[in-house]
Amino acid sequence: MIIVKMRYITFVGLAASILFTGCGGNSNLKKTIDMDSMENKNNPVYSRTDTAKVVLADDEWKKVLAPAVYHVARQKGTERPGTSIFEHSKEVGTYYCAVCGNALFKSDTKFESGCGWPSFYEPISKSSIIYTPDNSYGMKRTEVMCGRCKSHLGHVFEDGPPPTGLRYCINGVVLDFEKAQHAAEKYNSEQKPATK
């Protein structure tokens, strides 16, 4: 009986440690995603102001993107559900394409869908997203891609909240985020006249 209780306690302890570290590895994933975003900001096409379409050969994308970003964005991969640092984020700001810097979603359109990925009910503009049919895996879905670089972002479904009724289910690894306060501070510092 004591052995059974010890095994049960050990099992419960192990399960709790896995939960608190984020399914056996999420704590390391946060560092990876943060590093991936920083790495992507150093690629030559990343810009939050340039709206020109970006077209690169696959081997060029592979050189400038972190492996996890490349897998989702260029190979139409999917990150594991529940692993994105953005899934439950309540920060106020703007979500950008981590591949090219294109503005995609405002934080006030983000909602908790329970699907395992960051979800939004509306893109920042009509041109920020491209839609294409996706009939892979025997399912009929609508793929959403970045309107600037055509990177795979995720899918859109018709089970979201008002006012659109849409749920943009987006892979967090292809998102970059800037807090509204940081953007305002940056803007204000750029507007100050140079002192002599």
Catalytic sites, residue numbers: 169
Q: Which residues contact 29 (CB under 8 A, 6 or more apart)?
A: 22, 83, 85
CA 124 vs. chain centroid, Å, equals: 15
Q: Whole-angstrom Cα distance, residue 180 to residue 187?
A: 11
Q: pLDDT tens digits, the chain, 196 residues: what are they?
A: 444 444 443 333 333 333 333 333 333 333 333 333 444 557 889 999 999 999 999 999 999 999 999 999 999 999 999 999 998 898 999 999 999 999 999 999 999 999 999 999 999 999 999 999 999 989 999 999 999 999 999 999 999 999 999 999 999 999 999 998 766 666 566 666 655 5
Cis peptide preceding 163, ω within 30 of 0:
yes
For 2, the 3-state DSSP assignment is: helix
140 in any annotated domain: yes
Our count of domains for the chain comes to: 1
134 in any annotated domain: yes
- What's the domain range around 81? 32-191
pTM summary value: 0.73
21 in any annotated domain: no
